[in-house]
């Protein structure tokens, strides 16, 4: 039998009697799959593997501890042979054929009336792959398709409303997922976030985060833009909250695609609380926060042995008087470009030395990324002269010395745990 002879279909075996002939590991796997489909399974085999014996002992299937008889196929809907003896399997197959019962002959796939595909389940999607009688090839293809569905590279989104049991299972009211998209690079969103984005009916999007993924959405997925810029909030937070609940109540799967992490200065907590208060299911998917990832894009660790053991993350709008004013404690300012001069002055008044290194990373991980490095005393003038603008992350502390973009005179000490770093000054703006 060739693959062209196969007519792919699916059997609904719920409550129907089926027969498995054989007691080894293959029979156990096939019996388990049939039980998962809801079939009433009878196993005929003189001996049963521990897995089969456990299923029988739990009352999940019936085991007849004897040799096969031709009458065993009477009244069943489906037969699976797995004895390991081609002669016995051929006899079972012939008896099933005589009664027009579909039978999978594990000993001879060419002579088998039916084939068992390699199967995987992702959400409510079942993937079944036949590969010309080559089970390892089928399993490899199944795994590749399942992975693509899991990661969102293939669409899992529904195009037809759920019915019957699926209707209750899939929550017809809809749902909201607050997805942290990371710093902006499309490869830095989590697998879970990418998968939910591929299932979305509506995407409520910020101006930051992996905007390139919006171009990969299906044409009928609605994108609602609610992006904010410093000092300009065209869609107030209260309205964003209302949009999430209203769309979910229409039965939509809603993804709130945010930059960084929803719970790191992203107001995700407010959105989640509002959804729950209005009876809407909400899932929070953490993201790679820009506070840590964007400095890393410029080779700046927020902690480093011998330089810094801790860090603080604040916005440029926050009072800095409580932040430790030491070069060995990293300070990370988010949304701080507009207040940079005031923030630098505040840290100076708190006792932070004026020669403390400062790095600004604009558009981290994007093609137009730019790095500006100076000191606490010079950085405000440098940023103004260079036209530094948000989105940017500002890093203050000795860890900036580790950056390959730092000027050579910053690298006066061996701060490496292995060997001194080789200075690299490309793409550095200094004065």
Count of C-beta atoms within a 10 Å radius of residue 38: 12
Decide: 302 and 295 in contact? Cβ < 8 Å: yes
Separation of alpha carbons 255 and 245, rounded Å: 11
Residues ≥6 apart with Cβ < 8 Å to 399: 295, 300, 301, 302, 303, 304, 307, 308, 330, 357
- Alpha carbons 265 and 15: distance in angstroms, whole number: 53
Q: Which two tokens stand for residue 125?
A: 């999607």
206 a catalytic residue: yes
User: CA–CA separation, 344 vs 40, rounded Å?
Assistant: 73
Query: Is residue 8 packed enough to be buried (19+ CB in 10 Å), middle (13-18) or exposed (0-12)?
Result: exposed
Residues near 233 by Cβ (< 8 Å), separated by ≥ 6?
Answer: none
Distance of CA 206 to CAs 4, 227, 235, 245, 258, Å? 49, 4, 11, 17, 5
**What residue has token string 């769309």?**
247
Q: Catalytic one among 143, 228, 328, 342?
A: 228
| Crossing angle of helices 191-199 and 135-150, rounded to 10° | 80
Instruction: Quote the CA–CA distance of 274 and 238 in Å, as a whole number.
Output: 9
Q: Which of 206, 258, 261, 398 is catalytic?
A: 206
Query: Angle at Cα 367 formed by Cα 366 and Cα 369, nearest 5°?
Result: 65
* N residues, the chain: 431
CB distance 331 to 351 below 8 Å: no
| Residue 216: CB atoms within 10 Å | 15
Q: Which are the catalytic amino acids?
A: 206, 228
């Amino acid at each position: 039998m060739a693959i062209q002879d196969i007519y792919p279909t699916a059997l609904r075996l719920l409550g129907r009697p089926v027969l498995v002939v054989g007691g080894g590991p293959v029979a156990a796997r096939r019996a388990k799959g049939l039980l998962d489909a809801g079939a009433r399974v009878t196993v005929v085999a003189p001996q049963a593997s521990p897995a089969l014996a456990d299923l029988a002992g739990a009352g999940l299937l019936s085991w007849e501890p004897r040799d096969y008889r031709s009458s065993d196929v009477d009244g069943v809907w489906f037969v699976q042979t797995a004895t390991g003896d081609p002669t016995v399997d051929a006899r079972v197959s012939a008896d099933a054929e005589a009664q027009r019962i579909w039978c999978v002959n594990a000993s001879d796939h060419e002579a088998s009336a039916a084939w068992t595909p390699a199967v995987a389940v992702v959400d409510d999607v079942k993937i079944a792959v036949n590969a010309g009688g080559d089970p390892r090839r089928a399993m490899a293809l199944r795994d590749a398709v399942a992975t693509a569905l899991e990661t969102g590279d293939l669409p899992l989104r529904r195009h037809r409303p759920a019915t019957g049991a699926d209707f209750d299972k899939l929550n017809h009211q809809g749902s909201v997922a607050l997805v942290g998209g990371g710093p902006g690079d499309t490869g830095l969103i989590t697998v879970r976030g990418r998968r939910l984005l591929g299932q979305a009916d509506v995407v409520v999007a910020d101006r930051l985060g992996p905007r390139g993924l919006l171009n990969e959405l299906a044409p009928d997925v609605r994108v609602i833009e609610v992006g904010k810029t410093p000092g300009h909030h065209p869609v107030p937070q209260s309205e964003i909250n209302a949009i999430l609940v209203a769309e979910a109540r229409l039965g939509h799967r809603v993804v709130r695609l945010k930059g960084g992490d929803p719970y790191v200065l992203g107001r995700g907590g407010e959105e989640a609380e509002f959804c729950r208060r209005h009876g809407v299911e909400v899932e929070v998917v953490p993201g790679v926060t820009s506070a840590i990832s964007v400095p890393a894009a410029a080779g700046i660790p927020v902690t480093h042995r011998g330089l810094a053991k801790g860090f603080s993350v604040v916005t440029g709008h926050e009072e800095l008087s409580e932040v430790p004013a030491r070069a060995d404690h990293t300070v990370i300012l988010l949304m701080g470009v507009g207040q940079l001069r005031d923030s630098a002055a505040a840290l100076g008044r708190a006792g932070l030395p004026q020669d403390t290194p400062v790095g600004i990373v604009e558009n981290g991980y994007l093609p137009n990324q730019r790095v500006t490095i100076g000191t606490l005393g010079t950085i405000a003038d440098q940023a103004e002269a260079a036209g530094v603008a948000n989105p940017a992350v500002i890093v203050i502390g000795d860890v900036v010395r580790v950056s390959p973009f730092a000027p050579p005179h910053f690298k006066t000490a061996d701060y490496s745990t292995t060997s001194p770093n080789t200075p690299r000054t490309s793409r550095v703006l200094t004065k």
